[in-house]
Amino acid sequence: MHELIQNGTPWILRETGNDPAVIRQNETLFALSNGHFGTRGSLEEVHRTPEYSYSRSTLINGYYDTDPISYGEWAYGYATHHQTTIPVPDGKWMELRTADEVFDLKSANVSDHERVLDLKEGILTRSFQWETREGVKLDITIERFVSYDYPEILAQRMTLVPDTSGHEVRVTFELDDLEAMGKAAGEEQAEDLDPRKKEQTRRRFTSQRLSRSPILLLHIKTQESDLHALVGSVIQTDKSKAALSSYGNQTALSFWTKAGEPVRIDRFTAYSSFFTNDQAVINQSRQLEETLERVDSEGYDKLKSAHIYRMQSFWETSDIQIEGDPALQLGIRFNLFHLNQAAGRDGKRNMSAKGLTGEGYEGHYFWDTELYMLPFFLYTQPEIARALLSYRHSILPQARERARIMGIDKGALFAWRTINGEEASPYYPAGTAQIHINADIAHAVYSYGQITGDERFMVKEGLEILVETARFWVRWGHFDDQQKGAFVLNDVTGPDEYTAIVNNNFYTNYMAKKNLLYALELIKRAENRTDSSLKQLDVSEEEQRLWERAAELMCLPYDEKHRLTMQDDSFFHKAVWDFEGTPEDKYPLLLHYHPLTIYRHQVCKQADTVLAQFLFLDDFSEEQKARDFDYYEQVTTHDSSLSRSVFGMMASRIGKDEKAYEYFMDTALMDITDLQANTKDGVHAANMGGTWLSLVQGFAGMRLHDGKLTFSPRCPKAWSSLSFSLKFRGRLIRVKLTPDTAHYERLEGEPIAIQTDDEQIVV
């Protein structure tokens, strides 16, 4: 078990010592964010010691720049522009000095260096003792948190306690506009070709200091996307003890030590971003200053208590408790903590594959949100789920445009990866061709309606998404005479990115079928409502009949001889990958083999057919699921972090308990143990969602069946109990399972019937 979580307290991640490799690695794990912006867990003075950092970035969700994608060989309809999240000025920057020494972790005489991430309170605390060259011992503590009450605010408090009087100490604060970092990271990038990383990190904004003493205020503007951001920072301290002065990008504070007397310095940094004209800059900077003035007058302690209160209410409904394994308990909370931190909450931004913890995948939003992360929010904070789906609704115009580019005259195709709604995937075989994203979003929308009963959202935004995606499917596919009139979807890529451009990917076709049925069902429900969008959508009877027919005749490839579901029409015609002859260091395959070497073999990067079956467990017989699981498990590398959780959940459902447990442990501890060897680029947010899914839908066997909550628990023997809460149609339900018992309790709302393995009960 990893040393970070081996401390016996199921809420605390503790790092001790000052090994640069450890500190660098934990930069991702110790990142703090609130869905609006996030900042990595880098040291305050790390600009002096780059070897302690991988990237000290602060990211605003949805703040990106674009530049043209240059193709060696262009073809019509290729994505035209990169969208790359770019780090904004870093408000954590601090520098500590005495008369003849500037502090940094590498050269200073430091003892007891420790960093603690308290998941319960959402606070990162660093503490150490510094013995200066003059022989003064300073006990230093630096706390930081990213506020949930004031989404723009990063709050920091530094406390210094000297043991000797009469020495001058100076602390400088800056808004670090990252010129140096951009270069360093850019140089490294040239040698690193891993496509899962950031595209590039050169500094891509112009910055301008707005002089507003005592507030440090920077206005930045991206070079191409014309996105503006403001970063402001203010310092607060006991003025009778310390003198404050500001110049340029910096505020400095100096004081004379008094033995045993603490000096406390609070810093608030605010981040906002917007599209704009000049007047908006003025208005926005006024607003930002007002926010800073407000938090400054409320003070650090009040802000901190409010933040802790918000964290508590989060944990009240979202915590999952496991008795019998404290280290795993901590690992699970770590995942839930990061999931909560990652989600955009304003309906304009989504959740990137790395949350706001790193620049991997350029800050893009993928299907990861709807299939892996959203379920956690659907059942614990449905208002956040709604905001995430509202974002998808807001990018429907771009999705319609994308469908036109793809030659589809009606309906919408969501971008495979995006921030602003436009397609940003420069590689179509394992990117743009994953049109299953349409059905993934439709599935999430439909589930939202089922779980919350929010009919108003469903008959407006929801309906529009379902209808536009359904329209797309019947135009992409056709009824194929060669296959007895089956409705086929050709030349697509399913979730498994090691098999590209195939006909009738089972997952895609199954999801598309559901998408068509969802749209038909919702139209029926919307017909009687005056507040629905149905009229505007102008869906004809004929169109509906076509959807019905396509759903009914959807081609679902099946190998009768081996009684196996076929991942696609051609999967079983390919040679099986030489797994025995592939050394460990050749994984992930994508970094060592040409795509065509991979595509022409039976080898999967991740769950595909098994995922479809897991999503609709009741549609497939036990034997079928077990046979398909056994087959696909042998040919799956899990090179994608989205894979293990699905195999684990299915293993639990088909009674392979040991396997389920093994997969689950890998899932739950993936980032803490750096299982995929790339946590430095950011956490694997989808896998974190997979952790929640594994516990609730895997081990507890919770699913929705005909609109009713159903449970089929298989609590691992290794735990004495597993408990969690769920929000469902206005109820709050508490579930507690042991390996032999199950207990369901209603904490809020009206009584409700649920189905368990052997009976229907009213909770």
606 lies in the site for ligand BGC, by CB under 6 A? yes
3-class state of residue 703 by DSSP: strand
Alpha-helical runs (H) found in 561-702: 595-599, 609-615, 622-634, 644-653, 657-668, 685-693
Instruction: Select 607 or 700, whichever has its Cβ closest to ligand BGC.
Output: 607
Residue window 681-700: x/- pattern of binding to ligand BGC, with contact defined by CB under 6 A: -----x--------------
Using the rule CB under 6 A, is 640 a contact of ligand BGC? yes
Q: What is the DSSP string of 586-607?
A: G-SGGGTS-HHHHHTEE-BSS-
227-237 and 721-728: which strand pairing? unpaired
Of the listed 95, 152, 362, 497, which one is catalytic?
497
Helix (H) or strand (E) holding 27: helix 20-29
Choice between 33 and 53, CB closer to ligand BGC: 33
- Residue 314 CA to residue 519 CA, distance in Å, equals 33
- Give the per-residue contact string, 335-354, with ligand BGC (x = CB under 6 A; - = no): ------------------x-
Closest CA to 702 of 732, 729, 676, 735: 735
SS3 637: coil
What separation in angstroms does the CA of 595 have from each of 414, 498, 499, 576, 676?
24, 8, 9, 15, 20
Contact status: 372 vs ligand BGC (CB under 6 A):
no
Q: Does 605 bind ligand BGC (CB under 6 A)?
A: yes
Give the interface segment with ligand BGC, choosing from 7-15, 114-122, 361-369, 755-763 (CB under 6 A).
Answer: 361-369
If the CB atoms of residues 91 and 689 are measured against ligand BGC, the closer one turns out to be 689
Applying CB under 6 A, among 44, 368, 422, 423 the residue interacting with ligand BGC is 368
Q: Which string of b and e fits 701-736 if b means at least 16 CB within 10 Å?
A: bbbeeeeebbbbbbbbeebeebbbbbbbeebbbbbb
Please give the Cα distance from 735 to 551 (Å, whole number): 36
- For the bound state, the minimum distance from the C-beta of residue 363 to ligand BGC, rounded and expressed in Å, comes to 11
- Is residue 83 near ligand BGC by the rule CB under 6 A? no
Tell me whether residue 623 is exposed, middle or buried, using C-beta atoms within 10 angstroms of its C-beta: 0 to 12, 13 to 18, 19 or more.
Answer: exposed
- Asked if residue 367 binds ligand BGC (CB under 6 A), the reply is yes
Choose which of 30, 52, 271, 366 interacts with ligand BGC (CB under 6 A): 366
Whole-number minimum distance, CB 489 to ligand BGC, in Å?
A: 18
In the complex, minimum distance from the CB of residue 748 to ligand BGC, in angstroms, rounded to a whole number: 35
Stretch that binds ligand BGC, among 360-368, 405-413, 446-454, 706-714 (CB under 6 A): 360-368
Q: Which residue has the tokens 């304003």?
A: 346
* Residue 759 appears among annotated catalytic residues: no
Q: Which residue, 152 or 368, is less far from ligand BGC as judged by CB?
A: 368
Kindly tell me which of 132 and 636 has the beta carbon lying closer to ligand BGC. 636
The residue whose two tokens read 């032999």 is 740
Q: Which is nearer to ligand BGC, 154 or 353 (CB)?
A: 353
Q: What are the distances in angstroms from CA 344 to CA 36, 221, 391?
A: 6, 21, 9
Angle of helix 541-552 versus helix 506-527 axis, rounded to 10? 150
Residue with Cβ nearer ligand BGC (353 or 726): 353
Geometric angle at alpha carbon 339, from 606 and 303, rounded to 5°: 165
Of 56 and 198, CB closest to ligand BGC: 198
* Nearest distance from C-beta of residue 318 to ligand BGC, angstroms: 22
Cα–Cα distance measured from residue 56 to residue 28, given in angstroms and rounded to the nearest whole number: 9
**Alpha-carbon distances of 646 from 151, 613, 641, rounded to whole Å:** 33, 10, 10
Q: Which of these ranges, 359-367, 378-386, 468-476, 575-583, lies near ligand BGC under the rule CB under 6 A?
A: 359-367
Q: Among 165-173, 177-185, 252-260, 366-374, which window interacts with ligand BGC (CB under 6 A)?
A: 366-374
Applying CB under 6 A, which part among 14-22, 274-282, 338-346, 362-370 lies near ligand BGC? Answer: 362-370
Residue 208 CB, shortest distance to ligand BGC, in Å, is 35
Rounded to whole angstroms, how far apart are CA atoms 660 and 655?
8
The residue from 550, 553, 642, 650 that contacts ligand BGC (CB under 6 A) is 642
Instruction: Pick the binder of ligand BGC from 495, 682, 698, 713 (CB under 6 A).
Output: 495
Tell me how far CA of residue 12 lies from CA of 122, 213, 305, in angstroms: 10, 38, 18
Give min distance, CB of 671 to ligand BGC, in A: 13
- Which of 389, 377, 373 minimizes the C-alpha distance to 446? 389
Tell me which residues touch ligand BGC (CB under 6 A). Answer: 353, 361, 366-368, 495, 497, 605-606, 640, 642, 686
- Active-site residues: which are they? 497
